[in-house]
């Protein structure tokens, strides 16, 4: 399953922090540091392997928005060059195979409005707008091997640009009604889904700017399109079942790289055969990801697979690994593949022979790899650790850092140590997690502790820098992160064990984790808090309805009356295939909705939060629980962020949310004598 500023009355409350000595020259993390962090993403290796292009996102506090620009770093790490300075943002950098250009997507002013593809000539000069697509939005794009064409994945706009202009000129033009006739009819950010708006493939000739359709305008979507190295074929992923909305099945297809070319289906697995796709250098094979059975859509675990491009039986290369994988890519010699393995609090780079065999781990220390790209024998990864956000690194016999965009900020900070924990749940299941300690943690002292729950549920807390956890730790809390059953990184059965049984095993695992940290002697059992976002918010509701030990809770983008989510959020396929429609299984729906129907068991003061445009876990989930606790007289508050979807983007709202976290926990988790300090001071 599943971020205007408000005046916060709680900001006058004292923060539940401990006084501790600071390392000379260092200071604790502050809320305002959020605006100083740079987010590095999307590393792309040039065809000759000498450069890596990537994006850097920073905060424009004056305009209250994020701005993304392009950078490139040399393979030896000696040169790091900023390429763009636009205020409209640039994304998706892609090198031309001939080495002459770097393409990117931007909505900067040009002949055609909206997001278009632009070209930077590596020989010098300003970027120029390449595409002028008035009636389409760009989902993905890729260069042809000879650099003469672009393979575009486009979606027709609900309203063509010319019609939009007319509408803008008509002051009293009424809005059009939204006509819905699809089974799956809404999606977070995208909103209500147009029955006729789908992603299809097009060829764009760079010299003539001619646009040709490759796939017909029919009610299915294509994605993850990839050109074969010899330039003759295109592979892509699509769900072409009779009604794709009612199916989670996707397959790999291949077609000639020309309009009207023949199309062949390569996979027939009754589940997800998905991308990203990777062609072998000889254009003979396609690597892809095969998922779990369709009914396990919320607990999917991908395996690395290989299929002949001419057709034939696929081979599952990581069948015996029992870990999810991502980002498959062939090595230059075609004899092996690189990919990323999600394994128990880490995501590490790995290699396997194309013929099959053992998986070779390519990094030893706990890390989280968020992206992988390789050209000319040079592999670049996006790599995060406990004490540093993701940066571009080279993978060449080890992990070598190429960029350091947050080095100046990190050098000022005294961060908390992150430690592994492992314990047994009530039924003997081994559960793993992490604790983040206050920066100057002292053994023998008991600290107020916060159980912060990750979303998903098919995600995991790992050894990647968490601003939120470090901020809470900087304010004197032990932060406890538990990879409860349902999480990724522990194998398929571990993830699927909560199927149709939400709020049971997860809550047992979370409470066992809290017991473990209390028994370690570092957590004060009388000052425990809990909270999370998305499924973390849902589990917060489940947990406070099951146990009264928590003195403060924050449920973000959560829900408790799950039956009321049917037809309101975007998960109808999961509901019908996991719990069943409500009229067929009313008892099952009541079972998983127990926090709402047992709300009178809740005594924990709880802050509910959400965005008013969230279609992922709609705001109604928090509103209902807020109203229930108001009715019961339990201290509660509801904070609504206008214009925000499930994941917040407005910088001021992101800061506001963190400040409210600190204030709410401070109000109910009393500090020890002499250990208090004012929230306003902490946030400076």
In Å, the largest CA–CA distance within the chain is: 77
Q: Is residue 178 over pLDDT 60?
A: yes
The H or E element containing residue 659 is helix 651-668
Give percent above pLDDT 90 in the chain: 86
Structure confidence by residue, pLDDT tens digits, 21-38: 457 789 999 999 999 999
Q: Is residue 110 over pLDDT 90?
A: no
For residues 607-626, average pLDDT: 98
Contact 490, 432 (CB under 8 A): yes
Q: Is residue 114 over pLDDT 70?
A: yes
Sorted by sequence, the CB contacts under 8 Å of residue 14 that are 6+ apart come out as: 666, 671, 676, 677, 678, 679
**Residue 174 pLDDT class (50, 70, 90 cuts):** confident
Two structure tokens written together for 4: 């205007």
pLDDT reported for residue 495:
97
pLDDT reported for residue 25:
82
Q: Is residue 79 over pLDDT 60?
A: yes
- Strands lying side by side in the sheet with 430-436: 418-424, 430-436, 478-483, 447-453, 523-533, 552-556, 606-611, 636-641
* 3-state SS class at 548: coil
Query: pTM for the complete prediction?
Result: 0.92
Q: Is residue 7 over pLDDT 80?
A: no
**CA-CA-CA-CA torsion sign (528, 529, 534, 538):** positive
For strands 136-143 and 552-556, give the pairing.
unpaired
**Residue 13 pLDDT class (50, 70, 90 cuts):** very low
Sorted by sequence, the CB contacts under 8 Å of residue 7 that are 6+ apart come out as: none
* Domains of the chain by residue range: 9-31+412-682
Of residues 604 and 165, more confidently modeled? 604
The CA-based angle 477-480-486, given to 5 degrees, is 155
Q: Is residue 684 over pLDDT 50?
A: no
Contact 43, 373 (CB under 8 A): yes
Spatial separation of the C-alpha atoms in residues 114 and 134, rounded to whole Å: 8
Mean pLDDT for all residues in the chain:
92
pLDDT reported for residue 196:
78
The CA-based angle 421-423-429, given to 5 degrees, is 135
pLDDT reported for residue 680:
32
Other Cβ atoms closer than 10 A to 78:
8
Structure confidence by residue, pLDDT tens digits, 494-553: 999 999 999 999 999 999 999 999 999 999 999 999 999 999 999 999 999 999 999 999
pLDDT reported for residue 364:
85
Spatial separation of the C-alpha atoms in residues 555 and 553, rounded to whole Å: 6
Q: How many CA atoms lie within 13 A of 598 on its CB side?
A: 15
* 3-state SS class at 514: helix
pLDDT reported for residue 312:
96
The residue ranges of DSSP E strands in 294-427, in sequence order, are 303-308, 315-316, 324-330, 336-343, 346-353, 360-361, 368-375, 378-385, 388-395, 399-401, 418-424
Structure confidence by residue, pLDDT tens digits, 253-287: 999 999 988 999 999 999 999 999 999 999 999 99
For strands 233-238 and 251-256, give the pairing.
antiparallel
For residues 652-675, average pLDDT: 86
pLDDT reported for residue 24:
74
Spatial separation of the C-alpha atoms in residues 316 and 580, rounded to whole Å: 31
Of residues 349 and 3, more confidently modeled? 349
**Residue 18 pLDDT class (50, 70, 90 cuts):** very low
pLDDT reported for residue 682:
35
Name the CATH topology of 9-31+412-682: Rossmann fold (3.40.50)
> Residue 260, by phi and psi: left (phi above 0), alpha (psi -120 to 50) or beta?
left
């Amino acid at each position: 399953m599943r971020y205007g500023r408000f005046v916060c009355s709680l900001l006058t409350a004292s923060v539940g922090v401990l006084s501790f000595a600071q390392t000379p020259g260092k200071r604790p993390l502050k809320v305002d540091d959020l605006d100083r962090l740079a987010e590095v993403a999307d590393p792309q290796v040039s065809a000759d392997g000498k450069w890596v292009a990537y994006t850097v996102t920073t905060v424009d506090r004056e305009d209250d928005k994020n701005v993304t620009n392009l950078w490139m770093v040399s393979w030896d790490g000696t040169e790091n060059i900023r390429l763009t300075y636009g205020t409209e943002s640039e994304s998706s950098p892609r090198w031309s195979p001939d080495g002459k250009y770097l393409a990117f997507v931007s909505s900067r002013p040009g002949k055609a409005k909206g997001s278009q593809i632009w070209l930077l000539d590596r020989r010098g000069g300003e970027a120029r707008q390449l595409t002028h697509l008035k009636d389409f939005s760009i989902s993905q794009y890729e260069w042809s091997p000879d650099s003469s064409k672009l393979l575009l994945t486009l979606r027709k706009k609900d309203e063509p640009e010319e019609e939009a202009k007319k509408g803008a000129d008509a002051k009293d033009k009424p809005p059009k009604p939204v006509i819905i006739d699809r089974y799956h009819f809404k999606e977070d950010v995208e909103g209500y889904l147009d029955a006729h708006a789908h992603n299809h493939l097009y060829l764009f000739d760079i010299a003539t700017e001619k646009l040709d359709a490759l796939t017909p305008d029919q009610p299915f979507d294509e994605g993850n399109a990839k050109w074969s190295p010899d330039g003759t074929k295109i592979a892509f992923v699509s769900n072409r079942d009779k009604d794709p909305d009612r199916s989670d099945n996707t397959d790999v297809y291949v077609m000639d790289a020309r309009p009207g070319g023949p199309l062949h289906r390569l996979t027939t697995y009754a589940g997800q055969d998905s991308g990203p796709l990777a062609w072998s250098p000889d254009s003979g094979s396609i690597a892809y990801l095969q998922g779990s059975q369709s009914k396990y859509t919320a607990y999917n675990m991908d395996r690395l697979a290989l299929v002949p491009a001419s057709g034939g039986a696929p081979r599952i290369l990581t069948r015996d690994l029992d870990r999810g994988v991502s980002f498959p890519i062939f090595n230059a010699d075609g004899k092996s593949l690189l990919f990323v393995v999600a394994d128990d609090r880490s995501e590490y780079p790995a290699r396997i022979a194309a013929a099959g065999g053992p998986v070779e781990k390519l990094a030893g220390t706990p890390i989280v790899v968020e992206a992988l790209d390789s050209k000319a024998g040079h592999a670049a990864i996006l790599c995060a650790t406990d004490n540093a956000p993701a940066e571009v690194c080279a993978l060449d016999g080890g992990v070598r850092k190429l960029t350091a965009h947050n080095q100046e900020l990190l050098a000022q900070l005294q961060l908390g140590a992150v430690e592994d924990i492992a314990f047994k749940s009530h039924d003997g299941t081994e559960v793993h997690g992490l604790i983040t300690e206050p920066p100057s943690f002292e053994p023998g002292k008991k600290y107020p502790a916060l159980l912060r729950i990750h979303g998903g549920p098919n995600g995991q807390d790992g050894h990647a820098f968490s601003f939120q956890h470090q901020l809470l730790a900087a304010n004197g809390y032990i932060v406890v992160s538990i990879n409860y059953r349902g999480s990724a990184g522990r194998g398929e059965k571990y993830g699927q064990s909560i199927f149709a049984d939400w709020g049971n095993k997860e809550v047992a695992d979370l409470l066992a984790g809290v017991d473990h940290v209390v028994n370690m002697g570092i957590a004060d059992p009388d000052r425990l808090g809990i909270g999370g976002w998305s499924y973390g918010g849902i589990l917060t509701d489940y947990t406070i309805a099951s146990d009264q030990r928590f003195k403060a809770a924050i449920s973000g983008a959560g829900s408790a009356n799950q039956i009321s989510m049917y037809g309101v959020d975007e998960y109808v396929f999961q509901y019908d295939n996991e719990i069943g429609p409500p009229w067929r299984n009313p008892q099952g729906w009541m079972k998983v909705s127990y926090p709402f129907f047992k709300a009178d068991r809740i005594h924990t003061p709880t802050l509910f939060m959400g965005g008013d445009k969230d279609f992922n876990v709609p705001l109604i989930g928090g509103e209902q629980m807020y109203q229930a606790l108001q009715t019961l007289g339990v201290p509660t508050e509801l904070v609504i962020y206008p214009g925000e979807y499930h994941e917040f983007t407005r910088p001021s709202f992101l800061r506001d949310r963190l400040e409210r976290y600190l204030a709410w926990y401070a109000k109910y988790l009393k500090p020890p004598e002499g250990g208090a300090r004012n929230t306003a001071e902490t946030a400076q």
